[in-house]
């Protein structure tokens, strides 16, 4: 399905005249509500969010963390990965959350996302009372399902 209708000559002419000096990189930058549709693993989620006047969904990498790998050869790492994924599923799956989606993409082309939830949603899960919002990315590090990661060499589990 194409972007332009055959009679949309204004947009077609702009497209033909486009180059790196008169175009901008596509940005997924967004701050607001979104819904978690699927937990891929401990640091990747499929999120639905408003984009281009409709609700779209996309796999997104949680910013600043690297979780244990589900398909690791290391048995202990796989165990931590399964626990981390299950923790995220209990915490945010099928829930409306608040997100900050970065302009930057990870090395696989996925947008980077920071996920926030209201404190009352996690009280029963971890038995603590927090401020009005809680950073889920940081919680994954605190619970030892992930470590801090901003690119580069990955840590060994």
Residue 3 included in any domain? no
> In 60-107, which residue ranges form alpha helices assigned H by DSSP?
75-92
Residue 89 included in any domain? yes
Residue 120 included in any domain? yes
Which pLDDT value is given to residue 24? 79
Residue 136 included in any domain? yes
Which pLDDT value is given to residue 60? 97
Which pLDDT value is given to residue 121? 54
Average pLDDT over residues 110-133: 71
Which pLDDT value is given to residue 13? 80
Q: What is the mean pLDDT of the chain?
A: 86
Domain residues for the domain of 51 are 26-148
* CATH number, domain with residue 82: 2.40.50.90
Q: How confident is the model at residue 130 (pLDDT cuts 50, 70, 90)?
A: very low
Which pLDDT value is given to residue 128? 53
Q: State the virtual CA torsion across 137, 138, 142, 146 in degrees, nearest 10.
A: 40
* pLDDT digits 0-9 by tens, 37-82: 999 999 999 999 998 889 999 999 999 999 999 999 999 999 999 9
Residue 157 included in any domain? no
Instruction: With a cut of 80, say whether residue 8 has pLDDT above it.
Output: no
Burial 131-145 (b: 16+ CB within 10 A, else e): eeebbbbbbbbebeb
Query: Of 7-11, 122-126, 149-153, which range is least confident?
Result: 122-126
Residue 12 included in any domain? no
Structural domains counted in the chain? 1
Q: Which residue has the higher pLDDT, 12 or 68?
A: 68
Integer Cα distance of 47 and 62 in angstroms: 11
Residue 14 included in any domain? no
Which pLDDT value is given to residue 138? 97
Q: How far is CA 132 from the centre of its chain?
A: 21
Average pLDDT over residues 25-45: 91
Residue 18 included in any domain? no
């Amino acid at each position: 399905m194409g972007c332009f209708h055959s009679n949309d000559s204004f947009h077609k002419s702009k497209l033909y005249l486009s180059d790196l000096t008169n175009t901008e990189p596509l940005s997924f930058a967004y701050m607001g509500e979104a819904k978690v549709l699927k937990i891929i693993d401990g640091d990747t989620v499929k999120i639905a969010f408003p984009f281009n006047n409709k609700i779209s969904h996309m796999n997104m990498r949680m910013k600043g963390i690297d979780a244990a790998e589900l398909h690791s050869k290391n048995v202990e790492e796989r165990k931590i990965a399964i626990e981390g994924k299950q923790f995220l599923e209990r915490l945010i799956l099928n829930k409306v959350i608040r997100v900050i989606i970065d302009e930057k993409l990870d090395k696989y082309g996925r947008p980077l996302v920071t996920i926030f939830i209201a404190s009352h949603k996690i009280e029963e899960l971890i038995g603590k009372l927090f401020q009005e919002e809680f950073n889920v990315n940081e919680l994954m590090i605190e619970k030892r399902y992930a470590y801090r990661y901003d690119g580069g060499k990955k840590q060994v589990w």
